[in-house]
Amino acid sequence: MPVNFLGTMRFTMPITMPITIPVTKAVATFQSLTPTKFNHASYLAVAKTRAKALHAFALVVPIPRPQLFIGEQSCFELCDMMINEGATKILIVTDAVLNKLGIPNKVTDYLQQKGIGFHLYDGITPDPTFSVVEEGIKQSVDNNCDAILALGGGSVIDASKIIAISQATKRKPKKLMGLLKASKIMPLYCIPTTAGTGSEATLGAVVSDDKTHQKSLSIDPRMVPLAAAIDPVIMKGMPPHITADTGIDVLTHALEAWMSVNATSETDYYAASATRTVFQYLPVAYKDGENLKARQEMGIAAHYGGISFNKAGLGYVHAIAHQLGAFYGIPHGRANAIVLPHILDANRDVCQHRLATLAKKAGVLQSAQTKADDGNLADHLIAQVISLIEETNIDRSVKGINEADFKKIAKAAAIEVRDTYSVPKYFTQAEIIEILHDIKDINDSLIK
């Protein structure tokens, strides 16, 4: 997923927010900066100019925040808000697994009690494709829905964002990929069922090509939902392996936002909070899924992670992980867990002080360690990340990984970084290929 989640101001802006001239200029700058030939010097020049343009963009594009409800009653509070805001027929978007588990019942029973109509579409698949999204649009239009409730993980929320824009603008999903395409959007509400993507807070949505599985991104502050409910009861049935994968996605968002050159004191606050919470509560939620305190804290951490990378952006972990997802079908969070230790290690020299500062904020130090030098603190944080991945038994194998794909993967990841992130250090494609070899070595040692 190429992602640039930008903006700076913390506020609630009406959906009809006018796009200002500086924003339009910034968008034009990104679009005019794609070189036709790929060599590292021109790559670096474009990437660095874009990073500056992203920063300028961040200064002028305000990003709304969803109204947030938290706790065991939060689903009902969200439903009340939808009703109060005039929803009469709600499209509930979910997936077949969640529907089979009966997770939507908490909401549908409540809406029935209140006499509010709804239509349930459970056709979303992990990493949703354009055809899955198009079916959702059809069902929404055919059933005269006037509001959308996303009830699922990042896949469901992202698909719902595009359904909501497409129905409002009457434009096909493929035409909505890119920057600032949501001139209108239907009222959109979210109940995340994973504590991972933070998509309920972000201005992006990712849709995959039906054939190639390559991901496209749509970015627009108007696609931030009106409200979201973080309900720990909805998350308590999440199996341990999905809890672990999605939890490391939260950590990756926080760490990449923290290391971004576009990080601000505001994004730092959310990234550090999310990091601390993941270290404290992911092991608890992983071992005891019924622990509602841990579920809720992880839900808030996911939301905070989303807020931090909305503005600071992501980096090479996501850029490479997206390719592992597209080439080998690895779920998003797990792919991040596979790549994260390698990028932390590769960034260590340029991010030593930043990582040391985060180590002090993340609750991972014994009191004697706080006086250690930056190098030791950074190493300690990286070691803690690796041991969390091990403690949650995340499978670091990449079935089917093949050296013949590495050139293509490295190129796609490099382009994603150039076009959408503001990273502390740029790698050559050869360096990305080296990282892929390291990932393959781990895979080979695991499957021996």
Ligand X SMILES: NC(=O)c1ccc[n+]([C@@H]2O[C@H](COP(=O)([O-])OP(=O)(O)OC[C@H]3O[C@@H](n4cnc5c(N)ncnc54)[C@H](O)[C@@H]3O)[C@@H](O)[C@H]2O)c1
Which residues of the chain form contacts with Fe ion (CB under 5 A)?
249
Site stretch for ligand X (CB under 6 A), options 113-121, 130-138, 152-160, 383-391: 152-160
The span from the CA of 182 to the CA of 164, in Å, is 9
Helix (H) or strand (E) holding 179: strand 178-179
Q: Which does 47 bind (CB under 5 to 8 A by kind): Fe ion, ligand X, none?
A: none
Which option in Fe ion, ligand X, none does residue 237 bind, with CB closer than 5 to 8 A by kind? ligand X
Q: Which of 62, 71, 117, 126 binds ligand X (CB under 6 A)?
A: 126
Question: In the complex with Fe ion, which residue's Cβ is closer, 98 or 257?
Answer: 257
Start-to-end CA distance of the chain, whole Å, equals 31
Choose from Fe ion, ligand X, none: what does 53 bind? Cβ within 5-8 Å by kind: none
- Residues 420 and 140: their CA atoms lie apart, in Å, by 32
Amino acid at 85: E
* Burial tier of 441 (Cβ tally within 10 Å: 0-12, 13-18, 19+): exposed
- Kindly report the number of other CB atoms within 10 A of residue 350's CB atom: 14
User: Cβ closer to Fe ion: 95 or 249?
Assistant: 249
* CA atoms of 267 and 8, how far apart (whole Å): 9
Residue of 367, 379, 262, 282 lying closest to 6 (CA atoms): 262
- Cα distance between residue 280 and residue 273, in whole Å: 11
Q: Decide whether 249 or 297 has the Cβ nearer to Fe ion.
A: 249
In the complex, least distance from residue 240 CB atom to ligand X, rounded to whole angstroms: 11
Residue 308 is a binding residue for ligand X (CB under 6 A) = no
The reply on whether position 204 binds ligand X by CB under 6 A is: yes
Per CB under 6 A, 99 contacts ligand X: no
Task: Return phi, psi of residue 332, to 5°.
Answer: -50, -55
Using DSSP bridges, classify how beta strands 178-179 and 188-192 pair: parallel, antiparallel or unpaired.
Answer: unpaired
Token pair of 74, please?
A: 């939060």
Distance in Å, CB of 139 to ligand X, minimum: 18
Say if CB 202 and CB 190 are below 8 A apart. Answer: no
Q: Tell me the C-alpha distance between 94 and 77, whole Å.
A: 19
Cα–Cα dist 388/283, whole Å: 8
Q: How far apart are CA 315 and CA 83, in angstroms?
A: 39
Site for ligand X in 243-262 (CB under 6 A): 246, 249
* Residue placing its CB nearer to ligand X in the complex, 291 or 376: 291
27 binds, among ligand X, Fe ion, none (CB under 5 to 8 A by kind): none
Residue 248 in tokens: 């490391």
Among 98, 147, 272, 321, which residue interacts with ligand X (rule: CB under 6 A)? 98
Q: Which is nearer to ligand X, 133 or 145 (CB)?
A: 133
Taking Cα atoms as reference points, which of 196, 211, 199 lies closest to residue 162? 199
- By DSSP bridging, strand 188-192 and strand 147-152 are parallel
* Segment interacting with ligand X, rule: CB under 6 A, options 31-39, 64-72, 154-162, 397-405: 154-162
- Binding residues with ligand X: total (CB under 6 A): 31
Could you give the string, one character per residue 332-371, with x where binding to ligand X holds by CB under 6 A and - elsewhere?
xx--------------------------------------
In the list ligand X, Fe ion, none, the entry touching 330 (Cβ below 5 to 8 angstroms by class) is none
- Please choose which of Fe ion, ligand X, none residue 267 contacts, taking the beta carbon within 5 to 8 angstroms, the exact cut-off set by kind: none
Q: Compute the least distance from the CB of residue 21 to ligand X, in Å.
A: 27
Q: Which residue among 206, 250, 272, 307 contacts ligand X (CB under 6 A)?
A: 206
**Does residue number 240 form part of the binding site for ligand X (CB under 6 A)?**
no
Nearer to ligand X, 248 or 381 (CB): 248
Among residues 1, 228, 401, 413, which is the contact residue for ligand X, using CB under 6 A? 1
User: Which of ligand X, Fe ion, none does 126 bind, CB closer than 5 to 8 A by kind?
Assistant: ligand X
The interface partner of residue 422, options being Fe ion, ligand X, none and the CB cut-off 5 to 8 Å by kind, is: none
Buried b / exposed e along 237-258 (16+ C-beta atoms within 10 A):
ebeebbbbbbbbbbbbbbbbbb
Stretch that binds ligand X, among 111-119, 153-161, 423-431, 432-440 (CB under 6 A): 153-161
CA angle at 268 for the pair 20 and 250, rounded to the nearest 5°: 95
DSSP string covering 220-259, please?
A: -GGGS-SEEEE-HHHHTT--HHHHHHHHHHHHHHHHHHHH
Find tokens 């932390």 and name the residue. Answer: 344
Q: Tell whether residue 152 is a contact of ligand X (CB under 6 A).
A: yes
Q: Which is nearer to ligand X, 8 or 160 (CB)?
A: 160
Range 162-191, binding ligand X (CB under 6 A): none
Q: Which does 347 bind (CB under 5 to 8 A by kind): ligand X, Fe ion, none?
A: none
Angle 106-111-112 (CA atoms, 0-180°, nearest 5)?
A: 100
Give the footprint of ligand X on this chain (CB under 6 A): 1, 95, 97-98, 101, 126-127, 152-156, 158, 193-194, 196-197, 199, 202, 204-206, 235, 237-238, 242, 246, 249, 306, 332-333
